[in-house]
Amino acid sequence: MAGTIESMAAQTLLPWRWVIVDDGSTDGTSDILEASSRRHEWLAIVRRPDRGFRQAGGGVVEAFYDGYAALRGVAWDFLVKLDGDLTFEPDYFEKCLAHFAHEPDLGIGGGTVCVLEDGRLQVDSPGDPPFHVRGACKIYRAACWRQVHPLVPAPGWDTIDEVRANMRGWRTRTFGDACLVQHRATGAASGQWANWFKNGLANYVAGYHPAFMFAKCLKRLFRKPQVVAASALWAGFCSGYVRKPPQIAEASTVRYLRQQQVRCLTGQPSIYRSGA
């Protein structure tokens, strides 16, 4: 968290307001936030009690909306959702907002999340589709936000918002020239199998077409970690048909997503193909 705050304080474009949500931390984060809020007048802290358990997807959205509530009555142009384990260069937001300035139809964007492996930066999730922006670093244009809000409090929220945006004529994408370094491995708190299983279940909740999901898992067999990730993804997806959690995206959004996935499988232009 301290590194994230240092990165933000060094930006060439500072935030008008930055609300950090302390979601029941017990590791000294609260002290870091208190000291930082005294140094930076644009930093505000919202504290939530520890719920006592991890709540994948839904917990993230709940915490985000507690921070969002602190902006009530404030006029803004761009809203950012940022995780607390990231560092980035001083011109990160300057680069990101330049893309928005040059692309009026860009509704959601964000930088490329990277990790350090053997002293070198590597893209954390190189297989993400071109329309996807990682939930760790989303930037919403105000006009687009009004059309995709509210976010769904469940795994898959960070795909459903993009599908809603594309369905309404917005473009969404990750910026290759703006990098963030993630200092805690994705899913580190729950373990590798559990993280991929959760992602598979999130794909079910988002309304993925079964044929597209099967093809996605086959493709995942050839990337590290082989077998484990593909198996956990498929198991998580299939568990949705057993557990029957609600596919809480509206029917029109699910229908649009599946149409795009079928177009991708049949080689037609879609949100899954760059330049489409």
Domain architecture of the chain: domains with CATH: 2-186 (3.90.550.10), 191-276 (no CATH)
Q: Is the peptide bond before 210 cis (omega within 30 degrees of 0)?
A: no
pLDDT tens for 14-45 read 999 999 999 877 777 888 998 898 999 999 99
Q: What are phi and psi of 274, to 5 degrees?
A: -60, 135
Q: What is the pTM of this model?
A: 0.90
Q: Where does the pLDDT of residue 276 fall: very low under 50, low under 70, confident under 90, or very high at 90 and above?
A: very low
| Integer CA distances (angstroms), 173 to 146, 148, 266, in order | 18, 15, 22
pLDDT tens for 103-127 read 999 999 999 999 988 888 899 888 8
State mean pLDDT over 228-247.
91
Q: What percent of the chain has pLDDT over 70?
A: 95
Strand partners, 135: none
Strand partners, 86: 182
Lowest mean pLDDT among 46-60, 121-135, 198-212: 46-60
Q: What are the residues whose beta carbons fall under 8 Å from the beta carbon of 67, sequence distance 6 or more?
A: 19, 20, 21, 46
pLDDT of residue 237: 95
| Integer CA distances (angstroms), 211 to 146, 157, 168, 267, in order | 32, 21, 25, 14
Average pLDDT over all residues of the chain? 90
pLDDT tens for 170-185 read 999 999 999 999 998 7
Q: State the Cα–Cα distance between residues 165 and 32, nearest whole angstrom.
A: 36
pLDDT at 54 over 60: no
pLDDT at 187 over 90: no
